[in-house]
Amino acid sequence: MRGWNRSISDVVKALKPSKIREMTLLASSMEGVISLAIGEPDFHTPTEVCEKALQDAMEGATHYAPSQGDPELLEELERYLRGRYGLPIAKGNLLITAGGMGALTAIFRTVLNPGDEVLVPEPHFPEYMAHVELAGGRLLRVPTEVEEGYALRPEEVRKRITSKTKVLLLNSPNNPTGSVLEGDVLDELARIALEADLLVVSDEVYDRLIFDERRHESIVTRPGMFQRTVVIGSFSKAFAMTGWRLGYAFGPPDIIEEMTKVVTYYTSCASSVSQRAALAALRTSQKFADEMREEFQRRRDLVYRALTDIPGVKVNRPAGAFYIFPSLEALIEDGHEFALRLLEKERVAVVPGEPFGPSCKRCVRIAFTLKRELLFEAMERIKRFVKANY
Ligand SMILES: Cc1ncc(COP(=O)(O)O)c(C=O)c1O
């Protein structure tokens, strides 16, 4: 019998499969590979979180939750975020989602009309492209440079604003560079957002992973910005809970109310048992999150030092997250070819730079999400590979 003979949606067809997932899959199909490809903590979710979630499931937390979220989690999250941001966050500002990804899906579906433009600093999390395009929008990039520590220049944002620019999408700490937006930059970006009437979507899923005693700073705390910023948060990286798929958004109540409709029609609600786990994480695992950050800082130091030892590699010292994004432009033409050869010859998986933006072709992303012994070995292999081949 003849199969279905019509075409797939143009937007979906044009999306490329995720390079991060592709490299991770390839690495897992080979023996002896040290994979620095996927961005998730190697730590397991704390035992007390798993136990509490399991206990709650046994006692009936297995039904649909309200679309906005489990009321007890909303209450606890409200307290937690008030403490972290110093803002009068109330229940109406909050939405629980299926991962930070669920919050990104909801916000772009909620605010974009066909042709609306979203400005994002480059390098950027590749998934943004799909989120914006699936919602009918266009993602436009604002370049940053490794030599400048990937710092965003607000005037570069201002220059690119058109009558169609609706959203400024920020990500601090940044995936893939680990850079954070400095206070004076946030001040200026806030002024631009107010002048140009932009909504800011501030992806802060790495907010708990900031090094060197720095405090996490957000544009939402700048004057007038609580009324025009939607912050994207997640339990994935902060509490080692990637597989539970639990995130959240907070923002102006009218936008949150509309986003809640998207959640209702996409997923109905976030997983009930995962929401119980998130509640337990907030109550029991703050120290765990801090200790994990300290360990990531030690790993950052190890990987950064090793990369600065390799001639021809330009590298910025990450201030947060768990990625480092060296530029190999003095050595290579194509990060993809480099990554494949490195995997084949030295059994180390990294992600080629190209999905993070067109200017990143000669960069690679390294996730320092493994124990230091393994990271040390991986860096030795990378050094040996570069020395022998470039
Ligand atoms: C910048 C950024 N935002 C959002 C996410 C989504 O994370 P999750 O859906 O696990 O919360 C990720 C995951 O890697 C990320 O790097």
Residue 204 sits in a domain of what CATH number? 3.40.640.10
Judge if the beta carbon of residue 125 lies within 6 A of ligand 1.
Answer: yes
Asked whether the predicted pLDDT for residue 390 surpasses 90, the reply is no
Query: Side by side, which strands form the sheet with 351-352?
Result: 323-324, 364-367, 351-352
> Which pLDDT belongs to residue 3?
87
- Which of 284, 301, 318 is the endpoint of a domain? 284
Q: Do 41 and 54 belong together in one domain?
A: no
Pairing of strands 165-171, 117-122: parallel
* In a domain? residue 322: yes
- Under the banding of pLDDT at 50, 70 and 90, the label for residue 20 is confident
Q: What is the pLDDT of residues 276-289, one digit of tens each?
A: 999 999 999 999 99
Asked whether the predicted pLDDT for residue 1 surpasses 80, the reply is no
Segment 380-387 shows an average pLDDT of: 96
Q: Do 118 and 157 belong together in one domain?
A: yes
Helices (H), 197-334: 253-266, 272-284, 286-308
Q: Do 56 and 41 belong together in one domain?
A: no
Pocket test for ligand 1, best of 45, 231, 234, 325 (most atoms within 8 A of CB): 234
- Collapsing DSSP to helix, strand or coil, 292 comes out as helix
Q: Do 253 and 292 belong together in one domain?
A: no
* In a domain? residue 130: yes
* In a domain? residue 7: no
Q: Nearest CA to 390 among 343, 338, 353?
A: 338
Q: What is the pLDDT of residues 72-104, one digit of tens each?
A: 999 999 999 999 999 999 999 999 999 999 999
Asked whether the predicted pLDDT for residue 5 surpasses 80, the reply is no
Whose CA is closest to atom 4 on ligand 1?
A: 100
Cα–Cα distance between 344 and 336 in angstroms, integer? Answer: 12
Q: Nearest CA to 121 among 92, 95, 154, 148?
A: 154
Token match 């199969």: residue? 3
Cα–Cα distance between 363 and 105 in angstroms, integer? Answer: 28
Q: Do 174 and 229 belong together in one domain?
A: yes
pTM above 0.85, yes or no: yes
> Which pLDDT belongs to residue 4?
86
The total number of structural domains that make up the chain: 2
- Which of 230, 263, 284 is the endpoint of a domain? 284
Q: Which range of residues forms the domain containing residue 105?
A: 47-284
How many angstroms is it from 309 CA to the middle of ligand 1?
30
- Under the banding of pLDDT at 50, 70 and 90, the label for residue 43 is very high
Helix (H) / strand (E) containing 118: strand 117-122
Judge if the beta carbon of residue 236 lies within 6 A of ligand 1.
Answer: yes
- Which of 233, 264, 284 is the endpoint of a domain? 284
DSSP 330-342: TT-S-HHHHHHHH
Q: Do 73 and 99 belong together in one domain?
A: yes
Q: Do 194 and 236 belong together in one domain?
A: yes
Q: Do 143 and 213 belong together in one domain?
A: yes
> Which pLDDT belongs to residue 39?
86
* In a domain? residue 146: yes
Q: Do 375 and 300 belong together in one domain?
A: yes
* In a domain? residue 337: yes
Judge if the beta carbon of residue 274 lies within 6 A of ligand 1.
Answer: no
Paired with 94 in beta bridges are: 250
Q: What is the pLDDT of residues 179-215, one digit of tens each?
A: 999 999 999 999 999 999 999 999 999 999 999 999 9
Judge if the beta carbon of residue 242 lies within 6 A of ligand 1.
Answer: yes
Asked whether the predicted pLDDT for residue 262 surpasses 80, the reply is yes
Whose CA is closest to atom 16 on ligand 1?
A: 175
Q: Do 263 and 320 belong together in one domain?
A: no
* In a domain? residue 1: no
Q: Nearest CA to 41 among 234, 235, 242?
A: 242
* In a domain? residue 168: yes
CATH number assigned to the domain comprising residue 373: 3.90.1150.10
How many angstroms is it from 151 CA to the middle of ligand 1?
21
Q: Do 153 and 223 belong together in one domain?
A: yes
How many angstroms is it from 171 CA to the middle of ligand 1?
10
Q: Do 200 and 155 belong together in one domain?
A: yes
Q: What is the pLDDT of residues 341-366, one digit of tens each?
A: 999 999 999 999 999 999 999 999 99
Judge if the beta carbon of residue 354 lies within 6 A of ligand 1.
Answer: no
Task: Give CA separation, 69 vs 94, 99, 267, 277, 312, in Å.
Answer: 9, 13, 12, 13, 50
Judge if the beta carbon of residue 178 lies within 6 A of ligand 1.
Answer: no
Pocket test for ligand 1, best of 125, 209, 271 (most atoms within 8 A of CB): 125
